[in-house]
Amino acid sequence: MVNGVGKKPKILVIGGTGRFGKHVVDASIRANHATFVFTRPPATDDTEKKKILESFTSLGVELIFGTLHDYEMLLEAVKKVDVIISTLGSDPVQLELQTKIIKAIMEAGNIKRFIPSEFGMDPERVNPVEPAKAVFMMKAQIRQMIKNYNMPHTIIRSHIFQNFYIPRLGQAEISPPIYDTVGIIGDGNAQVLYVNARDIATYVIKTVDDPRTLNKILYITPRSPPPLSFQLSIAYSAYINGVQPNFNIDPSSAVEATELYPEVGYITVEEFMDSLL
């Protein structure tokens, strides 16, 4: 497979070996973009990461080894591409590292779009409990920093990942598969939006050179209907408060993915559950 053709923007994925990052890299390759991954070198005994990197290489991905603490290496990577997608993990420490990415983007001056790691629910529309509250606060701070610098960007609002919650039947604290008892969070009536990671990644890549999504929030809303852990606190906001579908999209600041890209056949909850059987 040829990695990138014509004048399609070159894409750098930071965090590309993670659970969601792998899907973004795959979507970028499928869309025939020149694709780069900035990652730490794998540890000697990290066979899983080595396999991921080998698969990337076989697809034509250019690997750039370094850390976000190595600013010169990061800056060099930024200068090679047109678009940067951050898929760093969902904890405040990792999310704060995006300030280093923003600094490099500002210095390099060549980036046409930055997509920060703000996937999931909208930090400006939820009222979560800890420890998720700290994560949403950091995401909001990064978003504000991007706006303050007038940096070209797109924010992705993907709601809840099917891949995490559906195998657990909505029970964030339980490891799948679940064979016996299923607990109901809240009264079971809150509307929740589930989107598959592969579909989220597909929409992410479609935005990179779409002027309709520049400096806007892309809401992915498929047409279907106090905890102790981070995932439980996310579940509290979604299942009890029902915050996900409870607002209208302002077209001056946001757009909706399934309206912009009707050709994407997203995976429904029913289809994903069937795949688990």
Is 4 part of any domain?
no
Is 261 part of any domain?
yes
Q: How confident is the model at residue 247 (pLDDT cuts 50, 70, 90)?
A: low
3-class secondary-structure state, position 33? coil
pLDDT at 237: 46
Is 1 part of any domain?
no
Nearest CA to 162 out of 267, 259, 27 is that of 267
Which member of 139, 147, 206, 216 is catalytic?
139
pLDDT at 276: 54
3-class secondary-structure state, position 146? helix
Number of domains the chain is built from: 1
Where are the strands (E) in 19-175, listed by range? 35-39, 62-65, 83-86, 113-115, 154-157, 160-161
Is 260 part of any domain?
yes
DSSP label at 91? S
Higher model confidence: residue 87 or residue 266? 87
Q: How confident is the model at residue 128 (pLDDT cuts 50, 70, 90)?
A: low
Average pLDDT in the chain = 81
DSSP label at 219? E
Nearest CA to 64 out of 89, 44, 39 is that of 39
Beta-carbon contacts of residue 273 (< 8 Å; ≥ 6 apart): 166
Is 224 part of any domain?
yes
Based on the residue annotation, tell me whether 7 is a catalytic residue of this protein. no
3-class secondary-structure state, position 257? helix
Q: How confident is the model at residue 178 (pLDDT cuts 50, 70, 90)?
A: low
Q: How confident is the model at residue 270 (pLDDT cuts 50, 70, 90)?
A: low
pLDDT at 129: 62
CATH code for the domain in which residue 167 is found: 3.40.50.720
Is 250 part of any domain?
yes
Nearest CA to 229 out of 25, 79, 90 is that of 90
Nearest CA to 240 out of 162, 158, 165, 185 is that of 185
Average pLDDT over residues 249-266: 86
Q: Which domain holds residue 122?
A: 11-276
Q: Please, what is the Cα angle at 97 between 90 and 104, to 5 degrees?
A: 135
pTM: 0.79
Tell me how far apart the alpha carbons of residues 160 and 199 are, in angstroms, rounded to a whole number: 12
Is 241 part of any domain?
yes
Is 35 part of any domain?
yes
* Tokens found for residue 275: 């795949």
